[in-house]
Structure 1
Amino acid sequence: MGNIWEIVLMVLGGLGLFLFAIHNLSDTLKELLGDKAKKWLGYFTKNVFTAILTGVVITTILDSSSAVIIMTIVLVNSGALSFRQSMGIVMGANIGTTFSSQLIALDIGQYSPIPIFLGLVFSLFSKSEKISRTAKVVLYFGILFFGLYTMERAVEPLRDHPGFLSWMERLENPWRGTAAGALVTLVIQSSSATVGMVITLAKKGLINLGGGIAVMLGSELGTCSDTLLATIRSDKQAVKTGVFHLFFNISSIALGLLIFPLYIQFIELISASASIEQKIANAHMIFNAAGVLLFIPFVPLIEKLLNKLISTKKPSLKVVGQSET
């Protein structure tokens, strides 16, 4: 029992470091970029394709799809972006967030103390504010990977724990795995952290490809909660952006569950001799990119549908006694 508690505490510690790094990394990069990120969102979103590309680039830089989508909702609410522009950014953000999965799949956690040390030294002793903030970005990247490395080492003993292995086997069921992924992401408010934990478990042979993909699908649903919260007390254009994000993710997940066995076979085929953690990262990227490609032709139709469901037009008031002409 003592060993289990030790594992739990180490996992929580590693997860805490990861979430701390993700949150501060996003905030520091926004400070470093200033209003540039907002300007880019406005400049390069003239059509759906450039909006998608902009969403991909900024999410890759900020390493947080939620931060980008919330920023987009704020800009829509202020009138700086239209609902149509926001749709492209939301889809692009879903692709951009998968690049962190590719990084996590690389076995670089053991080298994380190097960026931590360098980032700490330069952030403390640099007189330049810009260099200091850049050093903090390096520091938080190091902490992010050190958190994953901590979790990776913590779960090693679980390979011999029958109860845990039995529970992980149940996640092979796509519905259970998806529900677990959604719940975990809802609690920790980070799909990157959920996918990161899955990749960590896969590295240690504690979850198979099917279970990993199922949890990844669920993380896409769980990440909608904070963006929906951002639409509270916003105007209807901003609300439509949050609803579109939810609709896009639910539709993609439903399709993924529908073809789940075929999708696993497809990932096995194209990934060939790659490690299981790399296969999960590939599955994450391909799933989100394919969802965007499938949605692009339907953007005008979805826009019309949401415009009807969430109308921004104020109903005209009819004066009592006025004769109709």
Structure 2
Amino acid sequence: MAYLEIILLVLAGLTLFLFALNYLSDGLKAISGDKLQGWLKTFTRTVFTSILTGVVVTTLLDSSSAVIIMTIALVNSGALTFRQAIGIVLGANIGTTFSSELIAFDIGKWAGVPMAVGLGIMILARRETLTQWGQVILGFGMLFLGLFLMEEAVQPLKHLPQVVNWMKGLAEPWIGALTGAGVTVLLQSSSATVGMSVVLAGQGLLTLGAGIAVMMGAELGTCADTLVASVGRTKAAVRTGLFHLLFNLLSITLGLLLIVPFTELVLLISKQAAVGRQLANAHVLFNVLGVLLAAPFTSRLAAVFERWVPDTISPPKRAVMSH
């Protein structure tokens, strides 16, 4: 019965967390209207501004997948070029780390406050904009309540040897990464996977090394829906989806090969912090380093992808010879 109670409570927390992510994203989209697409088109003239735009928009929407899928749609329509899209994709990888830093604050017990405030605004508001802001605040509260439910549910698992031993197995980098990728594909949210990892690390169920491996896997799993979004689109849109996949794949492979020195670097930077905070910091550091390594080579990378997936050119018509 104890197992069933744990499973049901984790399921309730996870469902609420995923619902809150979508609810929050919808609220922010409603507030911004068409401005987000306008920002993507306006502030992408250089690599730096493209990356910065990707960071800001992804932080606002709390979903790198949503931003990259929006970018693929804009590339498909011709509103953005593939080269502009590269910077946005890189920036989205950094922007998605904001939620893990927020989750690491461990403020789940206060979730009722923003929920009550948000609901109160929605009930009393006379203007649609205020109602939308109420939705955003309520969404934040539900997000933290979902995490709090999962955190409370997994506490008894610390005393179960089978669970502890399985969690220790995730410290094997490739196993941890495959688990993170699988969970992310299943949940369709890298934020949920990393969020759960931060919670489990905070409860002492995941070591920092295991959490980092799962986090890296989550970065790969999030490519699934962006790849699906690029199917059947223009060649430029397909290139955008492929770039997202290959960039994440290469950075994750490098990260897993160097996971020991990377973990030591994280410990050096945040050795006084709790394990959950260390994992959140590792998420930021991993994505920032990946972008810093790739940013100087965006023009060359764009040229390579344009050769691999060239735009379709109709063959010249042959002249008909009279006999």
Residue 318 of structure 1: CA displacement? 5.2
After superposition, residues 4-153 of structure 1 pair within 5 angstroms as 4-153=3-152
Residue 319 of structure 1: CA displacement? 2.5
Moved over 6 A (4+): 320-323
Distance of 2:154 and 2:168 partners within structure 1 = 16
Deviation per CA, 1:286-315, whole angstroms, max 9, x where unpaired?
A: 000000000012211111111011111314
Residue 321 of structure 1: CA displacement? 6.7
Corresponding residue of 2:173: 174
Q: Residue 205 of structure 1: SS of its match in structure 2?
A: coil
Residue 233 of structure 1: CA displacement? 2.1
Residue 316 of structure 1: CA displacement? 1.4
Residue 126 of structure 1: CA displacement? 1.1
Report the aligned-residue RMSD: 1.2
Structure 1 pair 194–322 and aligned structure 2 pair: CA distance change class (3 A): farther
Distance of 2:229 and 2:44 partners within structure 1 = 21
> Is residue 2:219 matched to residue 1:220?
yes
Corresponding residue of 2:238: 239
Corresponding residue of 1:298: 297
Q: Residue 230 of structure 2: SS of its match in structure 1?
A: coil
Structure 2 regions of 5+ residues with no counterpart? none
Could you tell me which amino acid in structure 2 is paired with residue 235 of structure 1? T
Residue 73 of structure 1: CA displacement? 0.7
When structure 1 is superposed on structure 2, of 208-217 and 124-133 the one drifting more is 124-133
Deviation per CA, 1:189-216, whole angstroms, max 9, x where unpaired?
A: 0000000000000111001000000000
Could you tell me which amino acid in structure 2 is paired with residue 48 of structure 1? V
Q: Residue 248 of structure 1: SS of its match in structure 2?
A: helix
Could you tell me which amino acid in structure 2 is paired with residue 52 of structure 1? I
Distance of 2:238 and 2:144 partners within structure 1 = 35
Residue 322 of structure 1: CA displacement? 6.3
Structure 1 pair 322–242 and aligned structure 2 pair: CA distance change class (3 A): farther
Deviation per CA, 1:93-132, whole angstroms, max 9, x where unpaired?
A: 0000001110000021110001111111211221110000
When structure 1 is superposed on structure 2, of 118-127 and 207-216 the one drifting more is 118-127
> Is residue 2:286 matched to residue 1:287?
yes
Give the percent of matched residue pairs that are identical in Structure 1 and Structure 2: 52
Distance of 1:318 and 1:231 partners within structure 2 = 31
TM-score using structure 1 length: 0.97
Corresponding residue of 1:186: 185
When structure 1 is superposed on structure 2, of 124-133 and 181-190 the one drifting more is 124-133
Distance of 2:314 and 2:128 partners within structure 1 = 52
Distance of 2:84 and 2:32 partners within structure 1 = 21
Structure 1 pair 315–322 and aligned structure 2 pair: CA distance change class (3 A): farther
Q: How many residues align?
A: 322
TM-score using structure 2 length: 0.98
Q: Residue 230 of structure 1: SS of its match in structure 2?
A: helix
